[in-house]
Structure 1
Amino acid sequence: MSSPDLKNEINAAEVEPLLPIEKKLIGWSLGLGLALLAILITVNHFVPIQL
């Protein structure tokens, strides 16, 4: 039995475009992450952590 060469398999695979729902999910994820980061920075600015 011959084992398939992984490099050849990857190179032979066709590139599939993203579906519209996948693009929407990526956009929502990035937007939510940036919004939460901005909220965290704002809260940290007004209520700094004191040890």
Structure 2
Amino acid sequence: MPTSNLKDEINAKDVEPLLPIEKKLIGSSLGLGIVLLIVLIAINHFIPIKL
């Protein structure tokens, strides 16, 4: 398949909006990641790793 045809197919694809549940999942994943990062930073601050 020629690359120009592939590019046309990709560009012709319609973009679908995110569903509300997808937005909630993205938000909760980002929130959980940030909270866990803060917890790990706090643990490392109070109990530093000594090699």
- Normalised to the residue count of structure 2, the TM-score between the two structures is 0.90
Unaligned runs of 5+ in 2: none
* RMSD over aligned Cα atoms: 1.0
Deviation at 1:7, TM superposition (A): 0.8
By how many angstroms is 1:34 displaced? Answer: 0.1
How many pairs does the alignment contain? Answer: 49
The residue aligned with 2:11 is: 11
Unaligned runs of 5+ in 1: none
TM-score of the aligned structures, taking structure 1 as reference length: 0.90
Identity of aligned residues (%): 71
TM-fit CA distance, 1:6: 1.7
Bigger fraction of residues in helix: 2
* Separation in structure 2 between the aligned mates of residue 6 and residue 24 of structure 1, nearest angstrom: 33
Task: Flag as ranges the 4+ runs of structure 1 deviating above 2 A.
Answer: none
* Pairing 1:1-51 to 2, within 5 Å after superposition: 3=1, 5-51=5-51
